[in-house]
Amino acid sequence: MNAASSRLAPNPLTLAVVRNKLKAISEEMVETMTRTCFSPILNQNQDFSAVLLDAEIRTVAQAERVPIHMGAMPLAVRMMADAFRGDLAEGDVLMANDPFWGGSHLPDVTLAMPFFHAGEIAFWVALRAHQGDIGGISAGGYSAAAREIWQEGLRLPPVKLVDGGRLRKDILRLVATNSRKPEDLEGDLLAQLAAVRIGHARLSELFTRYRGEEVAGCVQAMLDGGEAVMRAMLAGCREGRHSGLSHMEFAQAPGGLLPIPVTVTIDNGRAVVDLTECPDQVAAFINSPFANTRAAVMVAFLYFSGDDQGLNDGSARAIEIRTRKGSLLDPVSPAPVGACTSSTACALIEALLQALEGADPARAIGGFARRFRFALAGQDRGGRPFIWHYFFNKGGTGGNAEHDGWANIGGLHNPGGTPSPSVERTEAAYPLLVEEYSLLTDSGGAGTRRGGLGGRLRLRYVGDRPAVLNASGEGVLVPPFASQGGTAGPGHAYSVEHGDGCIDRLGVHDSGVAIEPGATIVCISAGGGGHGDPANRPRDAVRRDVAYGYVSEGAARTVYDWQVEATGKT
């Protein structure tokens, strides 16, 4: 597709059909992955994403899965394509996970397949999936003890998994052997391969129906539309310099908090995001490679935009990102990066949302519960090794000008709406017993629009030999922030109740924690931040909160000045 043909304006009907077809292709890819993969983190939690990219490797369509994957994949595919420039043929499939080759963290493995039309690459089909274990010093990844990236697992620069349609079994064997669950990893990679091949086949059908220049014209129109949406949002913001500040929980920093300062300068429908004042990279797993940082920036701006037409790389044209090499948000090798997607990205998004609140208060939103996750590794009832990733009890989201926050679906801004696992399947497949899973009264931040509730999970380990827990998370010391006069939500609280009655607090980066048979892991998740002055909350909303048990009568009186008459009516 040459530049002239790519500028041909499509008719509206063709554009609508092609746009929806490309979206449908990406959705079919993730459905294929869901139905064929092995690991629970993939087939239950759906921690993967699919995109279609044009010949210039710009995201054109994406499935609505994990936001932090989306903005990073174009950089990864671009570097993969550059590594094999002049050495790509029909049927090739590339694979990589290295953060310094456009990846995020090592568990996220990307497969990318070129689609040829008229002898030239016209599209790329890509899928990134979080593998259950990729090696390293901690089972399940998220190695809090890692001081350099080689301790976090197997690094894959761009390689060919499939060469001219032929699966490289030696490469597949090499990668699988480096996992504690080689059968799962091999099966999951083959599921990814099936998904990208489905995407490739559906593109063939599209190009059979439409000429190449017609598709190119639609792609250009979609990207232009994404740019227009973002520029329109920025044009409605207050021009000038807006600052935001968030913190990460890091024991080696003063007070245990590492600042994440950002400035956003908006001028004439364009934004410059300056991240150069952030701290230097550290010898810990919270560094964020540039691809992950870019993705976090785009997530924050797309949240403020709220228009589906912006979900492509056209929206990125309106945003310039400035970083500093060797910093926490643009580290250099051998910086470890394991927690970048779930922790660092979250803090950066929060700082950006606070800066954008100053640019457009009407779009402000309270903070979401941060991700607190852990991997539990041991042997199941049959003596087989298992690795279980904690995806339950995600906490509340923040309120906004129109709505209360959602209860217990957690940090949507970076991991997206990844489903919680089935309690029944968890108990059937693992030596775990869910003793309690409930919402917590009074856990949402107060406001005109209340923050969503957090919850309590009691998870008893019923194995017959000790297991090991490796934690990775945020949100104990830094609660979900409030907006426009609301109050912050409470933070997370995690502990282990041992069989002898002793209780140990679980820290956000604790690793190698022994979990004895009969011990109970107690997970109390944060509520979302409130939005607006609590005094302005509608009386009917307060009455409903009390009736449903979301807010106690005592808190309703104290926080919302709510009175109960002798009849029980307000």
What does each of the 570 residues of the chain score in pLDDT, given as a tens digit?
A: 444 444 567 899 999 999 999 999 999 999 999 999 999 889 888 899 999 999 999 999 998 788 889 889 999 999 999 999 999 999 999 999 999 999 999 999 999 999 999 999 999 999 999 999 999 998 888 888 899 999 999 999 999 999 999 999 999 999 999 999 999 999 999 999 999 999 999 999 999 999 999 999 999 999 999 999 999 999 999 999 999 999 999 999 999 999 999 999 999 999 999 999 999 999 999 999 999 999 999 999 998 887 778 789 999 999 999 999 999 999 999 999 999 998 999 999 999 999 999 999 999 999 999 988 899 999 988 888 999 999 899 999 999 999 999 999 877 767 766 778 889 999 999 999 999 999 999 999 999 999 999 999 999 999 999 999 999 888 999 999 999 999 999 999 999 999 888 999 999 899 899 999 999 999 999 999 999 999 999 999 999 999 999 999 999 999 999 886 543 454
* In 34-119, beta strands by DSSP E: 48-54, 59-62, 93-96, 108-117
Q: Is residue 311 part of a domain?
A: no
Give residue 245's pLDDT.
Answer: 97
Number of compact structural domains in the chain:
2
Q: For the sheet containing 319-322, what is the strand order?
A: 240-249, 257-267, 270-274, 319-322
- Tell me which residue has tokens 């852990």: 374
Interacting residues of 85 by C-beta distance below 8 A, sequence separation 6+: none
Task: Domain of residue 162: give its range.
Answer: 4-225
Q: Is residue 161 part of a domain?
A: yes
Give residue 64's pLDDT.
Answer: 77
Q: Point out the domain boundary residue: 176, 197, 225.
A: 225
Q: Is residue 251 part of a domain?
A: no
Q: Is residue 321 part of a domain?
A: no
Q: Is residue 63 part of a domain?
A: yes
Q: Point out the domain boundary residue: 191, 210, 225.
A: 225
Instruction: Locate 75 and state its tokens.
Output: 């950089």
Count of CB atoms within 10 A of residue 431's CB? Answer: 21
Q: Is residue 384 part of a domain?
A: yes
Instruction: Note the pTM of the prediction, 2 decimals.
Output: 0.93
Helix (H) or strand (E) holding 294: helix 290-305
Inter-axis angle of helices 290-305 and 345-359, to 10 degrees? 40
Give residue 304's pLDDT.
Answer: 83
Q: Is residue 263 part of a domain?
A: no
Q: Is residue 298 part of a domain?
A: no
Question: Taking the CA atoms of the chain, what radius of gyration do you get in angstroms?
Answer: 24
Q: Point out the domain boundary residue: 195, 225, 255.
A: 225
Inter-axis angle of helices 169-177 and 182-209, to 10 degrees? 140
